[in-house]
A and B are shown apart, each in its own frame.
Chain A
Amino acid sequence: MGLSIGLDTAVTGLRAAQLAIDTTAHNVANANTEGYSRQEVLFRAIPPARSRWRNPGVPLQDIGLGVDASRIRRLRDALLDVQYRDVRRGYDQYQAEAAALRRAETALSEPSDLGLQQHLVQFFNTFRDLAAHPESIAARAATIEQGVTLSTAFQRTYALLAAQRTDLDAAVDVKVQEINEKAQEVAALNQQIQLVTLAGGTPNDLLDRRDLLLDDLAGLAGVTVQDGPSGAVDVLIGGRKLVDGVTANTLAAVPDPGNNNFKKVVWAADNADAGITAGEVAGIIRARDVHVTGLMTALDTLAGALIAAVNARHQSGYGLNGATGLNFFTGSGAADIAVNPTLQGSPESLAASDAPGEPGNPNTARAIAAVQDALLMNGGTATLDDYYRAMVASLGVSTKQAEAQMNGQEAVLKHIDAERQSVMGVSVDEEMSNLIKFQRAYQAAARVIRTVDEMLDTLINRT
């Protein structure tokens, strides 16, 4: 057996140790990189060459030829990725819903003295004041003023909700763009990964980047992932391919005429509905179409009933100047409710009396104040106040539910992520001990080389 073989064997160890130290350096450098999976060099012993067996004088047992360190793998559990994305879909959806609902709650500012209920109660109370002094211009002016305050409160609350709905609609657009960008990036990564894989390499860092994008896409659009050939993956929404190997399809947000021209998400290629049912986009659309729109409709119904009831009673009454048949409110809903400008210009036209020429008659004012206790809503089973209270309470329940769902999913998500990190996360302590281990290995391999060198020296120079 030749001494130079020992030298070659030692050199493989030297190289392997160096590679392992390089990998350790890569791990330490990326200890805080999001989505990074720790990497390790796979060591494999090189089996002895066949020819050696026939050398005379050498025993038959094998002596290998050193270490093969040609493969570096990343440590990652694909099953945990699938579970993580499953939960991420729900978590991001409920998070978007809960955020929108919390904002809607602040728009109502209940329970407080600033909320709509307080204005509603004050409005009816000024009619009670008016009933005590129907001939007083001051009481009339105060009543009209309170009517203006109430109308403004309705309009402001409605406008806040409408603005929120517009914001949510704009967010759909932004999120669709984000999905498209990420899908394109996944397609580009697919191509690079295929190239490296076909060349026999392991594109660990590219795979990490793609996995991070897939996590985000699951959160955004609730996508599912399918393995394709040569390391590529397909990304699907509702069974249709968003990413198909190295090509990405495009989504678009287009106005839906069937839904107030709010944006719906379609495939850009053929305008077919994308059918996103999970993830942040689904949460945003649900908040927009169900929660905020529901609140706006309820406010509108409330304002409409108030306008109709107050106007009917006011029309049948008489002002100080004999004016009759006037509406108290103009408009038909929460968006446009306002006090009749005729009354604002002449408080004596406000109808407090139910008969002409009786300035001290409070009966119409009393009848309007009694609207507060009239069962006008829900098919004659609830007062205006009841209806509003139920609306506020059901908003509170929806918010609480969305938050509870979100918190539940968050707990599961944290647990799965911890499991993932347990496999893929970098531990600096571990890397440090590896560093020492591989440094020792390097030193030992170097020592072997020196020994073989000394042996050669003995053989060549001293014999």
Chain B
Amino acid sequence: MRISDRILFDGVRANLQHNLGQVARVGEELASGRRLHVPSDDPVATAQALRHRRDLALNRQYLRGVDAARARLSAVDQALGGLTETLQRARELALQAGSGVLGTDQMQAIGVELNQLVQHAIQLGNTSFAGQFLFAGTKTTTPPFAPTGDPNVPTSVTYTGNAVAIAQDLGQGVQVRVDVPGNQAVLPAIQALIQLRDAVTAGDSVAATGPALSALDGALDTVLQVRGSVGARVNRLDAIGNQLTEEQTSLEGLRSGLEEIDVADTVVRLNAARNVYEAALGAAARAIQPSLLDFLR
């Protein structure tokens, strides 16, 4: 084949361009740390990376949800814990009042303390956390327990919340209930406390140890039961959270494996590309340089 100057120069130019392009491409990968810049870099990997990105974002969101649900349920548990203590103290007072050996003054003093316990129980029932009344069902913006009569000595309470359950999604098809309806868990306790207070204030030690005490015991059982179920839900949240965290790690690994470079490998490839480019430069210099002109003197 006859070699014209054009063939030589075009060939040298095309080869240098190609090799330099390779250096630039690998260099860009190394500089950006990313293997995928546009979908055509690897369409299949791009689709997979997009899927992992979506799953990761969802996963992070669900983890946030787990934290929020746990915070909410632990606020519920704390309030119910306070209620348990209140009921236990009331039970001690009921037993004292029911002994039948106390004078009217002492009975009255116990009545005052019981009234404070009633007010405390109403307060616990109206616990709000992060702007939500926890025992109001879905009517979370209004205090669910409204005392009637003298606010200092309420004669009864009305429950203004509802019994609609609140669930939170923590995965596709995974739901956890994050509320405790106040009419079930808290209302009987307040009513039992009022009943006991009224019996003691009336000096009726028989009623205090009889129906009032058994109502109190019933309310205490309910609260303990509900606390048990809240505890079980928190355990479930922990399990979900652990699983999500685990998935997070493996998804992150998959995503970075697809999108990001292996630095050691890329450095080696960059050096290889540079070597090829330098060799091409050397070859070009030797191929272009000599001409018959150099030898015609």
Interface residues of A (CB under 8 A from B): 31-32, 38, 101-102, 105-106, 108, 110-111, 115, 117-118, 121-122, 125, 128-129, 131-136, 353, 355, 357-362, 366, 369-370, 372-373, 385, 388-390, 392-397, 399-400, 403, 414, 417-419, 421-429, 432-433, 436
Contacts and interface: CB of A to CB of B under 8 A. Distances in A.
Nearest 3 CB-CB pairings of A with B: A425-B4, A396-B39, A360-B140
A414 B139 contact: no
Nearest to B255: A111
A142 to B, nearest CB: 13
Contact of A421 (B10, B39, B68): B10
State which size class the interface on B falls in. 35 or more
Interface string B29-69: 00000001011111110110111011001100110110011
Contacts of B167: 362, 366
Interface stretch (B83-91, B128-136, B196-204, B231-239): B128-136
A396 B40 contact: yes
Contact of B53 (A38, A117, A133): A117
Contact of B168 (A111, A131, A372, A399): A131
Interface of B: 1-7, 10-11, 14, 36, 38-44, 46-47, 49-51, 53-54, 57-58, 61-62, 64-65, 68-69, 130-133, 136-141, 162, 164, 166-169, 172, 179, 259, 291-293, 296
B4 A422 contact: yes
Contacts of A108: 39
Contacts of B179: 360
Contacts of A102: 38, 40
Contacts of A105: 38-40
Contacts of A417: 10
A427 B140 CA distance: 90
A419 B7 CA distance: 9
Given A110-B50, A118-B53, A135-B140, A418 B11 contact: yes
Contact of A125 (B5, B57, B164, B166): B57
Q: Interface SS of chain A: helix, strand, loop or mixed?
A: helix
Given A111-B259, A133-B130, A429-B291, A366 B3 contact: no
Contact of B7 (A357, A400, A418): A418
B49 A111 contact: yes
A213 to B, nearest CB: 19
Given A132-B65, A428-B291, A392 B50 contact: yes
A118 B50 CA distance: 9
Given A421-B4, A428-B5, A359 B140 contact: yes
Contact of B46 (A134, A358, A393): A393
14 contacts: A102-B38, A108-B39, A110-B39, A125-B58, A361-B138, A393-B46, A394-B43, A397-B40, A418-B10, A423-B2, A425-B7, A428-B291, A432-B291, A432-B293
Given A105-B39, A399-B40, A427 B3 contact: yes
Given A125-B58, A135-B131, A422 B38 contact: no
A389 B51 contact: yes
A111 B256 CA distance: 12
A135 B139 CA distance: 9
B38 A106 contact: yes
Given A396-B43, A427-B4, 16 more contacts: A31-B6, A106-B38, A118-B53, A128-B65, A128-B169, A358-B162, A360-B136, A360-B138, A360-B139, A385-B51, A389-B50, A390-B47, A392-B39, A393-B43, A421-B6, A422-B2
Given A360-B136, A360-B137, A425 B47 contact: no
B132 A400 contact: no
Nearest to B47: A393
B54 A385 contact: yes
Contact of B54 (A121, A131, A426): A121
Given A135-B141, A425-B6, A432-B293, A128 B46 contact: no
Given A132-B168, A421-B4, A426-B4, A360 B47 contact: no
B5 A426 contact: yes
B259 A414 contact: no
Given A355-B164, A369-B169, A433 B292 contact: yes
A359 B292 contact: no
A427 B6 CA distance: 8
Contacts of A362: 166-168
Contacts of B1: 419, 422
Contact of A414 (B14, B38, B39, B51): B14
Nearest to B52: A111
Contacts of A433: 292
A395 B65 CA distance: 35
Contacts of B291: 428-429, 432
A118 B53 CA distance: 8
Given A106-B38, A110-B39, A110-B50, A432 B296 contact: yes
Contacts of B62: 128
B287 to A, nearest CB: 13
B137 A132 contact: no
B167 to A, nearest CB: 8
Contacts of B49: 111
A284 to B, nearest CB: 19
A115 B47 CA distance: 13
Nearest to B58: A121
A122 B2 contact: no
Contacts of A115: 50
Nearest to B170: A128
B39 A395 contact: yes
Contacts of A425: 4-7
A329 to B, nearest CB: 21
A456 B61 CA distance: 112
A108 to B, nearest CB: 7
Nearest to A75: B2
Contacts of A422: 1-4, 7
Nearest to A418: B7
